[in-house]
Structures are given as C-alpha cells and as structure tokens.
Structure 1
Amino acid sequence: MDLGQIRRGVDMGPSAMRYAGLIEEIQDLGFEVSDYGDITIHRSTTGSNQEQKLRNLKEIIKTSEELCRELDEILTKGGFPLVLGGDHSISIGSIAGIKKHYRDLGVIWYDAHADLNTAETSPSGNIHGMSLATNLGLGHPILTKIGGYQPKIKPEHIVIIGARSIDEGEKQLIREKGIKVYTMHEIDRRGMTTIMEETIAYFKDRTDGVHLSLDLDAIDPIDAPGVGTPVLGGITYRESHLAMEMLAEAEMITSAEFVEVNPIIDHKNQTANIAVELVTSLLGKKLI
C-alpha cells in the first residue's frame, strides 16, 4: 500500500523483498514459511478525502481492518507474523490485530520519523506520519478504533530508535506522554550496543510481547536509498545488523513489520536486499 503518503512506489516493496529471496532465506534458517500474499488495495476514484486533512482515509481504514483480521487469525494459529510494506500506515492494522493477543504489548519503532502526528498537527495530511499516534488512540476516531478497541499501546510501552525528523507537534506529544526516544544524537554519542541493551532491559518486565515496526528510512540513504521518505544522517547498515542480532539474542520479538521499501528509486534492489538481511538477522541468522 502507498496510500498513506504522496510518493508512489512503496506498494511494490513486498514484491521487491520477495524477489530478493526473503522466503528462501527464512526457510534456510529452518523455519516453516506460509506466504499469505498481498492484501488487495482498493483505490478511490472520488478523490483523496483531503477535506478531512487525511489522505485516502476510507481506503486506509478498509485495508487496516482486513490486515487486523489476517494477523489475528495468524496469531490464533500460533504463527509469528511478519508483515511487509507498503507505507508505514499499515501498522495501524497490524498492531490492531497483534495487540488482541497481548495484555501489555511493547513496540520498537525503528524509524527516522516519530509518526506521532494527527490531522491537527500534520503538515502534509499523510497518514503514514500518524500511525504511532493512532495506535496510542490519538487522531480520527475511526482510525483509532480499528479492530474494535482503543488504544492499542501505552506511551510507556514504546521505544523509538533512530529519529531525526520530528515535527513540532510530535515533540510536544513526546514530552507530554513521556515516550522513550533514542534520536541519532544518542546513537552517535552512546553507541548502538548501549541503546539496544537499554531497550531490551526497558521491555523485559513491563511487556508480555514486543512488536518491531522497522521503517527502512531509519537507515541512512547512503546504505538504503530506496525508501519512501529518505532522511540524511541515519543509522548505518552495520548498526542495524547489530540491533537485529541483539534482539534475536534477547528472544523478545513476537511479531515484526518491515516497511517503506521503494524499488522505483532504489539501486539494483539494494534496499530490499538490506531488508531481507535484517529480517534474517532478527530471526537468528549469524555470521558464523
């Protein structure tokens, strides 16, 4: 899905990751993989609902509800949900379905952006920049009640890693809610090892499951050029590998999504290849 933003192309992200050998790589780790395919996206022919300052609202609601149902069913069957995006608005549906199975779900938001805007604070009206706020129960009432309940997560159950493009309204919300954020300043100054050790310890006793929501734009565009909203000065490829390896060792991640791969502006599927490598590191692949 690419309806949560303006730039086209991230709807091809799942295909790019499959083409990069994602399923085969996971199978090589010894896992049984069921590919449920893509959810059909229905595009409106009557405009983008901009009168509500929310682009493609109706279409995103419909898709989110379907994704919510799919993930609820997968978890009921005992599977580990791995969702491929698509823009980051898909997390509205994915977290809605996943949270049904956890009392205190934690979320690692690995992203250059906080995605904590609402219609009132968003400078663009792009819903992919509102997805974390929506999961907190903030924003359009239909969006926040996807899955039939709200909120999905608590502010104290969120850790944002890699942020370096945060709007003024988001900064205020972060301060008001006390959301834990590791910006690029903290990563540069203290190192990824310390950041991940603290994140793992933070979730250890306060959550019964942790969802990783990884936007490829968290990684510097030098390493990952094919993303929906690139921002200079990001996390390196190797730092991201380390983060995934440490999460794998901690055995704390219970679901994950990898979003915003845009093959149209990528170089030889470089970003999709990186996404595949990060997924497999998260699932336990080691260098030796």
Structure 2
Amino acid sequence: MRNPICILEFPSNLGLKEPCAGREPGVKKLPDFLRKHHFHSSLNPSSILNLAPPPYSMSLDEISGVRNAGQISEYAEEQSLILERVLSENNFPIVIGGDCSILIGNSLALKKTGEFALFFLDGHTDFMWPSLSHTGGAAGMDLAIVTGYGHNKLTDISGEKPYFKEQNVWCVGNRDYEEWYVKAIADSGINYVDLNLLRQKGIGKCISDFLQMVRDKNLNGFWIHIDVDVLNDHIMPAVDSRQPDGLEYTEFNEMLTLLLSDTKAIGLEITILDPDLDPLGIYTKNFVANFCGTVNSIQNLHEQ
C-alpha cells in the first residue's frame, strides 16, 4: 500500500431488506457519518469521489430472485467505470458503502483490469443464492454472485463471469455455524477459514498462506472486503445482522496491517456500518480511530 489514497463513496442500500416497514436501511448514510467522525480528514486522501445509487425499493426481481437486481446491476456498471479509472491512475481506493452488494461493481472493475484474489473478511459467508436466502437481498449473496453463482443479470455483467475464481478467494471470519449455511461454502472451491479456525491457525499463518497463494499464482494483486460485522458484537453492534463473538480490534488491526503492508494489496471496501444504529457515534469513533490509525501507520512506514 504505497499509492495515494482515493476515497470512493458508493452508499448503496439496495442489497438489504427494510429493517421495518417503510424504513430504508441506514447504511446509505455511512460516507457522511464517517466524514463527520473525521475518517476522511484522518486519511487525507488525494481525492474523494461519490456515486449516488438508484432509489431504494423492496422490489423482488422475478427473473433473478434478487431484490433490486436491475438497479444493482446498473449501479455496478457505473461503479466499475469509476474504480477502473482510479486504479489506472495508480491510486489506492478505499471504498465506503453501503451494503455488501457494492462488492459486485468493484469485482467487475477488477476483472476488467486483470486477475485478482479476494480476501473476504466478514462475520457471514454471504455465499448463498436465492433458493437459500431468507430475504432475497444481494447483501447476503454477494460472495456467491462475484464467484458466478446465480442469475446472469448479476453474475455476468458485461460478459465477465466470474469476477473472481473460487480458488482465488479466501472467506475469513464467519461465525454463523449453522450446518446448512456452512455447507454451501464448504462444498465450493473457496478457501474457507471461519473464526474458530482463524484463531486456531493464527492470524499470521492465515495471512501468510493467503499472500503466498497470490504470489504462487502470479496474480495482479488482491482486494479486501471488510464487513464491519466481522468485529465483536460488543465493539460493533451497529450492523443489520448481529451475532455473539467476533474479532477484537487487536486481531482486526493485526490482519489489516499484514494485508496492507503487502505490495499486492490493490484496494479495499468497508460495508454495513449503519449510522441509524449508532446515533451518538460511539462505535463509529472507535472504528475510525482503529482503522485510520492502522492505515496511517503503514503509510508512514512506507514514507520513511
């Protein structure tokens, strides 16, 4: 991570269902909320770009079985054009969501640019398709979509299916251990490291194995997906699907440091933190301090 930081704001909430009737998911407010709590100023980016999403609805697309599939696909294409340009200018994009469906557009841009790995850091696998989903929301299917599972409306935008090869994906940190839920990803070619295994194996070993894979396959680099629900519920409860346990900030910061210190890191995205669930910013301030502190420490080391 040695290139100038560019912040991209992709505040889509199209991949989530309503938290209650008539109320939109609040994740679309995340870029403004992070700015209020000094995320942007702490990172001192070279530029900040914003892409407004299509209007939210609860519409279920009958063809794909995914809510707002047409709008998500449209938004993904617009995202990809912006991200492609940012990468071509040798910037390091930090993308602020939004929900996890923003991974689709980011993945499309990467596929057009080269062959990349994905380090998917999430408290859930998000490896489902409509027949498994209870909500029809793309935010719970994004990892499946970007590896080619589901209707072509989302999996084959611009004829680029799959955006990531399964074998180039590491899904790390899941702590939803229901048998039916885990079976889908366990039967895939994705490298799956749940929270228990991560702690048994050790963070250093997990990241080392991932980086070695990137080099052994001579990939162009890797993208990092961060759903903040990977964090322990007591330090980050401002998410739509809460669960006990999760990474402490010492663990999260260690992972981030090891990943971003590698020259193959190409960019990252942050998703799911809902300002409506943290009105005083208590948890958001702590996240900003840890994330920005870690990123700035790495940047400072490279500048020495």
Is residue 11 from structure 1 mapped to residue 31 from structure 2 by the alignment? no
Q: Does the 8 A contact of 2:112 with 2:160 survive in 1? A: no
Q: Does the 8 A contact of 2:59 with 2:67 survive in 1? A: yes
Query: How far apart are residue 280 of structure 1 and its match?
Result: 4.8
Aligned length: 280
Q: Which residue of 1 aligns with 2:49?
A: 36
Q: Does the 8 A contact of 1:245 with 1:281 survive in 2? A: yes
Map Cα deviations across residues 243-266 of structure 1 (whole Å, 9 max, x no partner). 111123333311110111101112
2:162 partner amino acid: P
Secondary structure of residue in 2 paired with 1:123? coil
Q: Which residue of 2 aligns with 1:272?
A: 284
Query: How far apart are residue 166 of structure 1 and its match?
Result: 5.6
Secondary structure of residue in 1 paired with 2:187? helix
Map Cα deviations across residues 11-54 of structure 1 (whole Å, 9 max, x no partner). 11111222221222112xxxx520012x2222267x51254531
Query: How far apart are residue 169 of structure 1 and its match?
Result: 5.7
> Structure 1 runs of 4+ off > 4 angstroms?
166-170
Q: Which residue of 2 aligns with 1:113?
A: 124
1:34 partner amino acid: S
Map Cα deviations across residues 74-127 of structure 1 (whole Å, 9 max, x no partner). 122222221101000110011111222122x00000001111111122122111
Is residue 195 from structure 1 mapped to residue 206 from structure 2 by the alignment? yes
Q: Does the 8 A contact of 1:227 with 1:271 survive in 2? A: no
Query: How far apart are residue 279 of structure 1 and its match?
Result: 4.8
2:155 partner amino acid: T
Alignment of 1:102-251 (within 5 A): 102-103=114-115, 105-165=116-176, 171-206=182-217, 207-251=219-263
Query: How far apart are residue 168 of structure 1 and its match?
Result: 5.3
**Aligned in 2, Cα 1:187/1:256: closer, same or farther, shift over 3 Å?**
same
Query: How far apart are residue 57 of structure 1 and its match?
Result: 1.6
Is residue 281 from structure 1 mapped to residue 294 from structure 2 by the alignment? yes
Secondary structure of residue in 1 paired with 2:173? strand
1:23 partner amino acid: H
2:87 partner amino acid: L
Q: Which moved more, 1:213-222 or 1:268-277?
A: 268-277
1:22 partner amino acid: F
Question: In 2, Cα distance between the equivalents of 1:197 and 1:208?
Answer: 17
Q: Does the 8 A contact of 1:261 with 1:271 survive in 2? A: no
Question: In 1, Cα distance between the equivalents of 2:70 and 2:123?
Answer: 26
Question: In 2, Cα distance between the equivalents of 1:211 and 1:275?
Answer: 20
Query: How far apart are residue 178 of structure 1 and its match?
Result: 2.6
Question: In 2, Cα distance between the equivalents of 1:257 and 1:63?
Answer: 16
Is residue 88 from structure 1 mapped to residue 100 from structure 2 by the alignment? yes
Q: Does the 8 A contact of 1:163 with 1:182 survive in 2? A: yes
TM-score by length of 1: 0.89
Question: In 2, Cα distance between the equivalents of 1:42 and 1:150?
Answer: 23
Q: Does the 8 A contact of 1:113 with 1:165 survive in 2? A: yes
Give the CA RMSD over aligned residues.
2.2
What is the identity percentage for the equivalent residue pairs of Structure 1 and Structure 2? 24
Secondary structure of residue in 1 paired with 2:113? coil
- In structure 1, runs of 5+ residues without a counterpart are none
Is residue 62 from structure 1 mapped to residue 79 from structure 2 by the alignment? no
Question: In 1, Cα distance between the equivalents of 2:99 and 2:143?
Answer: 13
